[in-house]
C-alpha cells in the first residue's frame, strides 16, 4: 500500500491549509444539480475548520484551457459548499495573484475560502514551476482530497506536494484504503466484474485483472467480442470483431494465471434497444441473426450469485447490460442487490467505481450498501489498470 501522511498527523491550528478538491460537479442554470462530490469533501474541511485552520479550497472546473471562461467559474459552487460544511465560504476571483492573496490574508482561524478555477491558468495543467510556487505561497500545508484528479500530474495535484508539507484528506485516505483492500491486499478469493460497451477502452484493465483476481466476469457489449472470438454467432449485437485475437490472448493469459473468466451462458436479446420491445431469453449460442444481445440471462445471474457467495472481495466497473433502458436493467440490478446484501452481512468487501457503475448502483438503490463506491472516473480506471497515479505518488514521496 502507498504510504502517506494523513490529516490526523497534521498540526493545522492557525495554519493556512490548501485543500485540493474536485468540485467539477454538474451545474445547471447556476445551481449544483449533484452535490455528491461536495458532500464527500465536507468531512476534510470541517475537520480542519474545527481545529482552527484557515482553509483555502482549490479546484478545477471543466476545461477552459488556460483562459478565463465565465461559464466555467467556480462561483456558483459557493452556496452548495457552504451548505455542505455548515460555514460561510469566501470566494476569490482568481487562484493566484492579488485577488487570491487578499482573500487568504483576510481569513481568520476557522474560516474557509474557495479560489477561482485553477485551469484559468495554463500553468495548472502544465505543472509549471512558477504557477506552482504562486499557489504554494498562499499556504503553509497542502492537503490532497481529490483522488478523482490524482491521475493528472498537474500543479495542484502533484507539484504542490513537493513544495509544502503534504497530507491525504479524509476522502483520499478512504479511497486509497478501499482500493488497497480490493486489489493490492485483498481477502481471497477475489471476483471482478468488468462491463461496458467496448473492450478497446478497457484492454489494460482486463490484462491487469486477469493476473490478480480469481474470477473475472465480463459483461455488457464487451462480452460479445469475447463470445464472437470463440466462434459463437451473436446476431446483430455490438461487437469489435477486429479484436477477436486480442480477446483470445486475454483468455489465454487468464488460463495461465489461474483466473476463471465468466462469460454469459444465456442472454436477453431483442430486435431493437428500446423500452417495450419484445424480448427473448436464449442460450448464448442460439441468438437469432436479426437480434442483438442486450443483457445477460437468469442462468448467468444465478451463476454470478454463486461465484460472489464463494468470494471475499469484489471489484466492479461497468454494467452487465443496457441498464438505462428497461427491461435490460434486470441482471445488473439483481447482481447489485445481491452484492449489497452480502456486503451488509459482512461477508464481502465490495468496491465499485466508474460513472455507469455508480449510476446503475444508484438506480438500483444500493449505492450506500456496498463497502465503498468511488466517484472517481479516470483515476479509478487507471488504478484498475495498475498504473501509478502521480497525485498519489507525490503524497508518498512528500
pLDDT in tens, 58-74: 999 999 999 999 999 99
Among 144, 171, 198, the domain boundary falls at 171
> pTM to 2 decimals?
0.90
**391 inside domain:** no
Q: Would you put residue 250 in left (φ > 0), alpha (ψ -120 to 50) or beta?
A: alpha
What grid cell was written down for 392?
498519489
Query: What is the per-residue pLDDT for 2?
Result: 63
Query: What is the per-residue pLDDT for 64?
Result: 97
Closest CA to 296 of 327, 317, 250: 327
Compute the distance between CA of residue 397 and CA of residue 166 in angstroms, rounded to an integer.
9
1: pLDDT strictly greater than 60:
no
Give the three-state DSSP class for 113: strand
Positive or negative, the Cα torsion across 221, 226, 229, 234?
negative
Are 139 and 214 part of one and the same domain? no
Q: What share of the chain is helix, strand, coil (3-state, %, to 5)?
A: 45, 15, 40
**Residue 270: CATH number of its domain:** 3.40.50.1260
Are 237 and 289 part of one and the same domain? yes
Give the three-state DSSP class for 263: coil
Query: What is the per-residue pLDDT for 398?
Result: 61
Are 206 and 155 part of one and the same domain? no
**394 inside domain:** no
Closest CA to 323 of 361, 351, 286: 361
Are 213 and 250 part of one and the same domain? yes
**369 inside domain:** yes
What grid cell was written down for 395?
503524497
Overall number of domains in the chain: 2
pLDDT in tens, 164-198: 999 999 999 999 999 888 888 899 999 999 998 88
**393 inside domain:** no
**266 inside domain:** yes
Nearest-Å Rg of the Cα atoms of the chain is 23
Query: What is the per-residue pLDDT for 197?
Result: 86
Are 220 and 122 part of one and the same domain? no
Among 171, 201, 221, the domain boundary falls at 171
Positions marked active-site:
37, 198, 355, 378
Are 118 and 192 part of one and the same domain? no
Are 135 and 194 part of one and the same domain? no
Whole domain around residue 90: which residue ranges? Answer: 7-171
Are 85 and 60 part of one and the same domain? yes
pLDDT bucket at 200, cuts 50 / 70 / 90 = confident
Least confident of 1-10, 136-145, 215-224: 1-10
Are 192 and 165 part of one and the same domain? no
**392 inside domain:** no
Among 136, 171, 206, the domain boundary falls at 171
Are 271 and 370 part of one and the same domain? yes
Are 163 and 197 part of one and the same domain? no
Query: What is the per-residue pLDDT for 59?
Result: 98
pLDDT in tens, 133-167: 999 999 999 999 999 999 999 999 999 999 999 99
104: pLDDT strictly greater than 60:
yes
Are 139 and 191 part of one and the same domain? no
**181 inside domain:** no
**272 inside domain:** yes
Query: What is the per-residue pLDDT for 201?
Result: 86
Amino acid at each position: 500500500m502507498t504510504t502517506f501522511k494523513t490529516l490526523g498527523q497534521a498540526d493545522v491550528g492557525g495554519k493556512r491549509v490548501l485543500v485540493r478538491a474536485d468540485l467539477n460537479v454538474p451545474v445547471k442554470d447556476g445551481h449544483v444539480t449533484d452535490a455528491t462530490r461536495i458532500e464527500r469533501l465536507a468531512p476534510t474541511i470541517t475537520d480542519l475548520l474545527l481545529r482552527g485552520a484557515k482553509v483555502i479550497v482549490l479546484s478545477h472546473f471543466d476545461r477552459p484551457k488556460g483562459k478565463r471562461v465565465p461559464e466555467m467559474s467556480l462561483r456558483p459552487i459557493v452556496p452548495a459548499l457552504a451548505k455542505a460544511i455548515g460555514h460561510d465560504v469566501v470566494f476569490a476571483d482568481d487562484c493566484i495573484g492579488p485577488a487570491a492573496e487578499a482573500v487568504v490574508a483576510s481569513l481568520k482561524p476557522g474560516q474557509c475560502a474557495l479560489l477561482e478555477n485553477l485551469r484559468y491558468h495554463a500553468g495548472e495543467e502544465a505543472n509549471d514551476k512558477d504557477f506552482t510556487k504562486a499557489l504554494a505561497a498562499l499556504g503553509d500545508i497542502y492537503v490532497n482530497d481529490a483522488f478523482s484528479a490524482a491521475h493528472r500530474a498537474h500543479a495542484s495535484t502533484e507539484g504542490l506536494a513537493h513544495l509544502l508539507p503534504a497530507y491525504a484528506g479524509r476522502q483520499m485516505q478512504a479511497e486509497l484504503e478501499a482500493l488497497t483492500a480490493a486489489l493490492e491486499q485483498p481477502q481471497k478469493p477475489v471476483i471482478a466484474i468488468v462491463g461496458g460497451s467496448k473492450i478497446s477502452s478497457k484492454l489494460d484493465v482486463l490484462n491487469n485483472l486477469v493476473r490478480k483476481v480469481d474470477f473475472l466476469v465480463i459483461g455488457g457489449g464487451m462480452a460479445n467480442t469475447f463470445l464472437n472470438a470463440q466462434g459463437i454467432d451473436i446476431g446483430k449485437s455490438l461487437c469489435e470483431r477486429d479484436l477477436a485475437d486480442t480477446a483470445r490472448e486475454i483468455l489465454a493469459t487468464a488460463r495461465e494465471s489461474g483466473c476463471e473468466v465468466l462469460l454469459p451462458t444465456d442472454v436477453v436479446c431483442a430486435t431493437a434497444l428500446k423500452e417495450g420491445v419484445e424480448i427473448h431469453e436464449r442460450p448464448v449460442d442460439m441468438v437469432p441473426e436479426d437480434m442483438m444481445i442486450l443483457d445477460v440471462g437468469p442462468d448467468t445471474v444465478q451463476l454470478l450469485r454463486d461465484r460472489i457467495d464463494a468470494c471475499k472481495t469484489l471489484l466492479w466497473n461497468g454494467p452487465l447490460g443496457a441498464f438505462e433502458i428497461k427491461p435490460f436493467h434486470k441482471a445488473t440490478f439483481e447482481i447489485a442487490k445481491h452484492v449489497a446484501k452480502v456486503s451488509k452481512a459482512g461477508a464481502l468487501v465490495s468496491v465499485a467505481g466508474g460513472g455507469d457503475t455508480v449510476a446503475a448502483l444508484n438506480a438500483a438503490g444500493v449505492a450506500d450498501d456496498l463497502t465503498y463506491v468511488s466517484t472517481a472516473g479516470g483515476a479509478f480506471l487507471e488504478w484498475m489498470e495498475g498504473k501509478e497515479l502521480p497525485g498519489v505518488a507525490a503524497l508518498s514521496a512528500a
